Amino acid sequence: MNLLSLQQKKQNREKIAVLTSYDASFAALSEKSGVDVLLVGDSLGMTIQGHSSTLPVSMTDMQYHTRCVANGTSNVLIVTDMPFGSYQQTPEQAFENAAVLMTAGAHMVKVEGGTIMRSTVKFLVERGIPVCGHLGLTPQSVHQLGGYRVQGRSEAAAKQLLEDAKILEEAGAGLLVLEMVPSSLARTISEALTIPTIGIGAGVDCDGQVLVLQDMLGIYAGKSPRFVRNFMQDNSSIQEAVTAYVAAVKNKSFPAAEHSFE
């Protein structure tokens, strides 16, 4: 699987199934179950390390978990989050840290932010590092955003998100994650771009979907987020649950209306 394959899927209106992954065993299982893209997410700060946010995750953490996932797979696209503070300072800083992650086994790095990331994305892509953008709810900015809230509900905010998406694509981003935005806005953005969009809490009309592995398996404390579906409820093994998730993304039964925002 590569970026050209994902682009072809968008053109053919075939949905893209994405899951987070942090180790070789679950990476291998996910690949075997038909997952197209594995995201080594800084969500590991919460799911693996037990923090309340992604902010404490380090470059060393991301390098280690990327290497683990790469060791467990052979034909899946690996996207790794650049952690907080590893790319915001300068494009040169971003390149230095992105190169570490690529050497560890990533095929693409993910950065959060819109227009302000234009020069950084362009700098990385021109130097051979594929970039995935991330708009909407950007967890590394959770304190600035006032919590984990839906983004883009006002007319001005929706206009800005669409503009940011177009700017990231023009800068060279090859993929775009849309998190917790109204489904109608996500559809507008997806239709406006030639690159694939991957939604999480962004409705069924994105070109693909991503969930945190543990959330998809029903492993979370307290009430689950609205955009999560527990695929273990109707399956007897983890592999069956992952396979069911992939099928639900592909046949557009997930996300349903109850997993989306208006």
Q: Is the pLDDT assigned to residue 26 strictly greater than 80?
A: yes
Please provide the average confidence, as pLDDT, over all residues in the chain.
95
CA distances from 20 to 33, 38, 178, 242, 244 (A): 14, 5, 15, 11, 16
pLDDT at res. 163 = 98
Task: Name the residue with higher pLDDT: 92 or 141.
Answer: 92
Percent of the chain with pLDDT over 70: 98
Q: Would you please indicate which residues are annotated as catalytic (active-site) residues? A: 179
pLDDT at res. 150 = 85
The reply to whether the predicted model has a pTM over 0.75 is: yes
210's CB contacts (< 8 A; 6+ apart) are 18, 19, 20, 37, 39, 177, 198, 199, 200
Closest CA to 58 of 34, 30, 36, 83: 83
pLDDT in tens, 191-233: 999 999 999 999 999 999 999 999 999 998 777 889 999 999 9
Domain assignment of residue 88, given as a range: 3-259
Q: Is the pLDDT assigned to residue 145 strictly greater than 70?
A: no
pLDDT at res. 146 = 62
pLDDT at res. 222 = 74
* Number of domains observed in the structure of the chain: 1
Return the CATH number at 114: 3.20.20.60
What is the torsional sign of CA 108, 255, 5, 118?
A: negative
Q: Is the pLDDT assigned to residue 73 strictly greater than 90?
A: yes
In sequence order, which ranges of 113-211 are alpha helices (DSSP H)? 118-126, 142-145, 155-171, 183-192
pLDDT in tens, 82-95: 999 999 999 999 99
Q: Is the pLDDT assigned to residue 147 strictly greater than 90?
A: no
pLDDT in tens, 151-162: 899 999 999 999
Q: How many CA atoms lie within 13 A of 161 on its CB side?
A: 30
Q: Is the pLDDT assigned to residue 254 strictly greater than 80?
A: yes
pLDDT in tens, 162-202: 999 999 999 999 999 999 999 999 999 999 999 999 999 99
Cα(77)–Cα(73) distance, rounded to whole angstroms?
9
